Structure 1
Amino acid sequence: MGLLGLSLVLGVGFVWWERHIRQPLLDLGIFRHRAFLAGCLAIFVFGGAFYAIMYLLPLFAQGILDFRPVTTGLLFLPSTLVLALLVPVIGKLSDRYPSHYMTLPGLAFAIFAVFLFSRADVYTSFTYLAVALTLMSAGMASFPPPTLSRAIGSLPLHLTGYGSGVINFMLQMGGAFGTAALVLMMDRRITWHGEHISTVITAGNDTAMATAARWQDILAGVGVPQAWQQTAALQKVGATEQFWSTVMAYQDGFWLVMIALTFVVIPAWLLSRWSRSPQHATD
């Protein structure tokens, strides 16, 4: 909380300073241009969702599916190829057509891909995740080039230098905020799911008792003394509870990313309506 308060104080101080010096590091008049402001908002939320997925997916693959690091890296190979092929094409098209022709279909692809991620669990295959990630990359390739181009292109020439730095900063800051929010939310959701699962693991739950009995048989078979078998079996049941709480928290995390991407549609559409093409901005 102290660091958060200090950040707010320094942020207010920065704004005050930039408004009172002749040659500011950042011309705050840049935010009076509504198209640029819409672009900043869109890229901020998009950055949060994109970096959150890049954080969440490798952890899910290794922690839940038990993939090796190399296997996890291979998940990203098809999507990287898609990005390499699509980004140059989208960049050219963004100079010729309204940005929403590319950004909105791209967001639809990304939202659908994250929906597929939200349905993943311990039984999900490598192919399933690779296909979902490839679909998401098709969406991700369609969003930043038109958004950056139209947002910066909507500014007067004397502000374009500021615009480039600001909108790239918004992308990185969105990633930082998005990842932090996701980690915090998942920590809370693991606890929440664990508490709700534990309420049904009682002597009256036949499934839980059968699972504990099965663990006792396994432990007896490997030579665990009888006096310790029941306690050890209950510990195994608790570990299973913790595991599935984590799986459900990951699913909640993917849902959070999907909701964030859905909200990106609004500023992306407004940017397309309010902005001028880059060619017009330089005339």
Structure 2
Amino acid sequence: MEQSEKTSAKSWWVLVAVCLGVFMSLLDVTVVNVALPSIQKNFNTSFSNLQWIINAYTLVYAVMLLLVSKLGDLFGRKLMFNITLTIFTLGSLACSMATSNLMLVIFRGVQALGGAGLMSLSMSIVAATFSGKARGLALGVWGSVADLSTALGPLVGGILVQAFNWRAIFLVNVPVGVLALIMSIAFIRESEKIHNESIDFLGMLISTVMVFLLILGLIQKENHYDYSWTNWHVSSLIIGGIVLIIVFIVLESKLKNPMIDLSIFKNRGFVGSCIAAFALGGGLYAFFTYLTILLQNYMGYSALQTGIRQLLISGFSLVLVPVAGMLSDRIKPKYMISGSLIVAGCGMLIAHTTLGFSATWTVLIPAFILFGISNALVNPSISNAAVSSVLPQQIGMSSGVVNVFRQFGTSFGVVILGLTLTDAYHSHITSGLNKITQLPAHAKDGLTKGLFAAGPFSGKAVLNSPRAQELHQLPFFDKISDVVTHAYYYGMHNVLLTCATLFIAAGVICFFLFESKKRVD
């Protein structure tokens, strides 16, 4: 056994060490967003090039989750955790010293390689270090740190960029990484390695390329809203990824020592954990992207003010840490996970009802509370259910798979929610401008094309651009501005309905997938 029934004080230092790593790796998913304007000005680069600073991290991160988990099982989780922690820390230092956009994109990929290991291995290390009720509490803390790091990204980024410059968002990781590495070496106990097992190199290669193609296809769709799903830039990647999934399943089912033991998917509880993780990524973490744009670009809050307001959601992770951990051990996942997902769905429906064309965020407070409660309760429950439903030697593999589902759900959600929002945005831009009879036809056509090309994120920026200054002199400019604002709000209503549907459907499915009987550690 990799853990004893009695939890020692040293075990809690292990939790501190891995949580430091998780905090850094997930913080860097969102912290860079608020620094993009400064980076663009510094490197004088285009917005499409700038997007790859985010996409490079997302792509490499998703690709490496499964691979690093398997390497941890083969060669030791502590060894691989320390290696990936070192890679992440050095990658952060390199990012802070980048002298061009291309260098920064490359070093972000290096960062993500380390970040994927920190996320995936940390969950399996926590699960193997703790047992019984202590495991539920520890995974609750781990999940809460993961929630907080993602939500605090814009706030931390805003503070660092405002106080120093964009390089500070990467440089701050270096001392934290060094501290985490020292603690990891001192406190983490090496896991039992899998001996006398042939390494499934082909499975590793196929799984890596498979995830790469699927995520890259979604990124292509996200970056080019004018591309249809049948556009070869998108469809070739998605179809290639699906074909490799089939090849991977066939291959793994025939090997004696596969990269992923597909028998874990015969466990209904594990499948439920994967579905819940996908729904959480697609329904909440992807939603944060569009919520942030609403608060900043349309309600007019700064990055720092937006981050502070979103603390109402992430703050529950801190408050409910002990409660979530204990409840995930005492309440059956059949009720805990499905109930938490449905609570999030209800929050989306409440936001859909209360969100008018108000310029204040206070109408969203009831929904924010439900988002926070749901997120704080469901994350540790998913982790606990996933590792409790498999054999001890499958913990590393199961944590990697669940994290891939969560990350893929986030990437998929960003694209689907983006398409949902953009369709409504375009429709209401067209109908709204057509109602302004004073606007000349040629000006209407030019403005429509400009707003469509910029996309919903930059609608307000188009109106405030130098090329649109003439519009400000028009007596009906306020009507034009209202059309753009209302179009985004209409889009957000569709996004909220989509998220609510996803959460409620996933909650119902999970209710029937999870067994009613008590789990056995």
Shorter-normalised TM-score: what interval?
0.7 to 0.9
**Aligned with 2:309: secondary structure?**
helix
Tell me which of 340, 345, 349 is aligned to 1:106.
340
Within 5 Å, give how 1:161-180 maps onto structure 2. Answer: 161-180=396-415
List aligned pairs for 1:89-238, cutoff 5 A. Answer: 89-118=323-352, 119-202=354-437, 232-233=474-475, 237-238=479-480
Secondary structure of the residue aligned to 2:407 is helix
Residue 2 of structure 1 pairs with residue 206 of structure 2: no
TM-score, length-scaled by structure 2: 0.45
Kindly name which structure, 1 or 2, has the bigger radius of gyration based on alpha carbons.
1
Letter in 1 for 2:299: L
Distance 1:148 1:276 in 2: 16
Give, in whole Å, the separation in 2 of the partners of 1:202 and 1:126.
32
8 Å CA contact 2:339–2:507 kept in 1: the answer is no
Q: Is the 8 A contact 2:276 2:337 kept in 1?
A: no
Q: Tell me the alpha carbon deviations over residues 176-215 of structure 1, each in whole angstroms, 9 at most, x when there is no partner.
A: 1111111122111211222333454458xxxxxxxxxxxx
**Which SS does the other structure have where 2:514 is aligned?**
helix
User: Given the alignment of the two structures, is residue 44 of structure 1 paired with residue 278 of structure 2, yes or no?
Assistant: yes
Q: Assess if the C-alpha contact under 8 Å between 2:274 and 2:405 holds in 1.
A: yes
2:288 equivalent in structure 1: 54
Indicate the residue corresponding to 1:35 in structure 2.
269
Cα deviation 1:115-159 (Å, max 9, x = unaligned) = 233232442423333453233101111112223322332224443
Preserved CA contact (<8 Å) 2:334 2:516 = no
Q: Quick one: which amino acid aligns to residue 18 of structure 1?
A: E
| Deviation, structure 1 residue 108 | 4.1
Whether 2:317 is the aligned partner of 1:75: answer no
Amino acid at match of 2:368: L
Say what the alpha-carbon RMSD is for the aligned residues.
2.7
Label 1:132 to 1:86 Cα distance change in 2 as closer, same or farther (>3 A).
Answer: same
Distance 1:101 1:5 in 2: 36
- The percent of aligned pairs where both chains have the same amino acid is 24
Alignment of 1:272 onto 2:514: yes
Find the aligned partners of 1:82 and 1:238 in 2 and give their Cα distance.
39
Shift of residue 41, structure 1, vs aligned partner: 1.6
Distance in 2 separating the partners of 1:242 and 1:104 = 37
For the 8 Å contact 1:78–1:134, the answer to whether it is kept is yes
Q: How many residues align?
A: 255
| Contact kept in structure 1, 2:332 and 2:516, CA below 8 Å | no
Task: Name the counterpart of 2:487.
Answer: 245
Change over 3 Å in CA distance of 1:275–1:160 after alignment to 2: farther
SS at match of 2:329: coil
Contact 1:49 1:178 in 2 (8 A): yes
**Structure 2 unaligned runs (5+)?**
1-234, 439-469
Residues 55-76 of structure 1: per-residue CA shift (max 9 Å, x gap): 1211100111011111101112
Residues 1:76 and 1:240: Cα distance change in structure 2 (over 3 Å)? closer
- 1:237, CA displacement in angstroms? 4.0
Secondary structure at 1:258 match in 2: helix
User: Whole-Å Cα distance in 1 between the matches of residues 516 and 396 of structure 2?
Assistant: 20
Structure 1's 175 and 275: CA in aligned 2 closer, same or farther, altered over 3 A? Answer: farther
Q: How much does 1:3 deviate?
A: 1.8
